[in-house]
């Protein structure tokens, strides 16, 4: 594909991937060799869609570091470094900071006692929805709202899921898609309910083009029938660690 949609930040899975934190699902063995191949296919899909790939420095001491989305939130020319409510993940931020600095972005950070994971932040047009749960607290949301200036920031309580984007994401036209049982729907506009949980996780690769997991075939079929271009990737080994397609990259237009 010619041209560039922007830069995609990704981080290779480390040698301790199988030790990643599991909270809401039962643990099963992770095939790290398969995970490496799946990550390569994921990165290839981003590249094919026109994204320049920028590898974030490894953080091999941190099993969950491949889920790079949680380390930083990018909005325009601003990069906000997260501070996870899971203390074991806070060391993952350093490499992400180096990457966004090299891209020339302005850098701010969430400070104690605030906590925030990027997986809890969903931008839909000029509105930013932020999940309030185990990884992101009220203080973190308030700090993010201040840093984002005039953007409307809407806290969304989550339950039974790791992050807000474990439950909802948005299609290219701004339609929210997801699993209503996992979020406080009273603060959201209309939601399109997905036929399977993995269908809640959509990465917008470009106008009319979305990325989904192979484990969401019915959702993929519905979106294709609506006229969207759908790319599917197998990320089973990351899903075993509560990961999804959104977790594995930070897209910087």
* Tens-digit pLDDT profile for residues 182-214: 999 999 999 999 999 999 999 999 999 999 999
Identify which has the larger pLDDT, 235 or 3.
Answer: 235
Average pLDDT over residues 111-135: 97
Which residues are the active-site residues?
Answer: 163, 247
Q: What are phi and psi of 153, to 5 degrees?
A: -115, 125
8 Å CB contact between 120 and 134 = no
pLDDT of 2 higher than 50:
no
> Looking at domain 6-252, which CATH architecture does it have?
5-stranded Propeller (3.75)
What's the CA angle centered on 98, arms 96 and 103, to 5 degrees?
Answer: 95
CA proximity to 235, closest of 5, 59, 13, 14: 13
Strand partners for 178: 168, 193
Query: What is each CA distance from 96 to 11, 105, 174, in whole angstroms?
Result: 9, 12, 27
Q: Is the pLDDT of residue 8 over 70?
A: yes
């Amino acid at each position: 594909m010619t041209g560039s949609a922007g830069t995609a930040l990704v981080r290779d899975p480390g040698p301790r991937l199988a030790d990643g934190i599991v909270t809401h699902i039962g643990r099963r063995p992770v095939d790290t060799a398969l995970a490496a191949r799946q990550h390569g296919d994921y990165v290839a899909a981003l590249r094919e869609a026109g994204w320049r790939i920028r590898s974030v420095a490894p953080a091999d001491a941190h099993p969950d570091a491949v889920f790079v989305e949680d380390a930083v939130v990018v909005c325009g020319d601003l990069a906000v470094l997260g501070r996870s409510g899971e203390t074991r993940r806070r060391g993952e931020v350093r490499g992400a900071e180096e990457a966004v600095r090299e891209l020339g972005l302005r850098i701010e950070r969430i400070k104690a006692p605030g906590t925030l994971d990027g997986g809890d932040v969903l931008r839909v047009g000029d509105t930013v929805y932020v999940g309030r749960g185990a990884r992101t607290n009220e203080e973190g949301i308030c700090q993010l709202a201040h840093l984002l200036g005039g953007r409307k920031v809407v806290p969304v309580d989550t339950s039974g899921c790791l992050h807000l984007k474990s439950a909802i994401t948005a299609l290219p036209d701004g339609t929210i898609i997801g699993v209503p049982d996992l979020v406080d729907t009273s603060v959201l506009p209309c939601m399109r309910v997905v036929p399977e949980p993995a269908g809640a996780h959509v990465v917008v690769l470009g106008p009319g083009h979305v990325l989904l997991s192979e484990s969401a075939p019915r959702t993929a079929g519905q979106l294709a029938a609506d006229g969207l271009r759908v790319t599917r990737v197998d990320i089973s080994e990351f899903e075993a660690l509560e990961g999804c397609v959104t977790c594995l990259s930070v897209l910087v237009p």
